[in-house]
């Protein structure tokens, strides 16, 4: 019988890891809702928070990290769907489009996260929540877009708030 052995490379930037980040950010932002494009931006910010004068970044500062936005959208979309299946994220459909928020079960889940990475993640997510509460969601996201440059923000916003078929 083969022995199962988890490979770290299978988890790094996987839908599971990105989903845990998304749940943590949404929980710290409760009751604020975010659309997909905003979640893509916030995932980049929570991973590279030091780039915006926040707490130390979760991941190493690699050259060209702004280019991560080009591949991050599908990852975040998959991660949010995964977390919905785990009942940790709720999807809200309105005339404005689709938005995500932490479910009622998210708080208990986030509280259970105790690894060093998880504690650093919570610190970065708290910082994001503080920024949004003090500056306002629109102002903070405008700062993020300016820091990332127009090309990255335009790419991730190209398909946000898609409406479901009628």
Q: Tell me: the pLDDT tens digits for 95-143? A: 989 999 999 999 999 999 999 999 999 999 999 999 999 999 999 999 9
Read off the pLDDT of residues 130-153 as tens digits, 9 standing for 90 and up: 999 999 999 999 999 998 875 454
CA dist 116 to 51, 68, 119, 122, Å? 21, 24, 5, 10
Place of tokens 């998880």: 118
pTM of the model: 0.82
Q: How far apart are the C-alpha atoms of 44 and 73, rounded to whole Å? A: 10
Q: What is the mean pLDDT of residues 61-70?
A: 61
Task: Look at the block and give the residue holding tokens 């996201």.
Answer: 141
Contact (CB, 8 A) for 144 and 52 = yes
Q: In the chain, helix, strand, coil percent, each to 5?
A: 60, 10, 30
| CA gap 49, 126 in Å, rounded | 11
CA distances from 118 to 20, 26, 112 (A): 9, 14, 9
Dihedral (C-alpha) 119, 87, 7, 77: value to the nearest 10 degrees? Answer: -90
Predicted confidence at residue 66, as pLDDT, reads: 58
């Amino acid at each position: 019988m083969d022995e199962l052995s988890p490979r770290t490379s299978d988890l790094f930037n996987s839908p599971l890891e990105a989903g845990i980040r998304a749940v943590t950010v949404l929980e710290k932002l409760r009751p604020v809702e975010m659309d997909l494009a905003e979640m893509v931006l916030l995932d980049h910010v929570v991973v590279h928070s030091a780039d915006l004068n926040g707490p130390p970044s979760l991941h190493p500062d690699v050259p060209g990290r702004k280019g991560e936005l080009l591949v991050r959208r599908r990852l975040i979309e998959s991660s949010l769907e995964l977390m919905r299946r785990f009942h940790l994220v709720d999807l809200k459909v309105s005339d404005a489009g689709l938005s995500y928020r932490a479910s009622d079960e998210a708080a208990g889940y986030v509280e259970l996260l105790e690894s060093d990475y998880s504690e650093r993640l919570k610190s970065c997510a708290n910082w994001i929540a503080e920024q949004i509460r003090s500056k306002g969601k629109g102002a903070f996201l405008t700062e993020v877009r300016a820091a990332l440059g127009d090309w990255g923000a335009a790419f991730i916003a190209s398909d946000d708030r898609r409406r479901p078929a009628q």
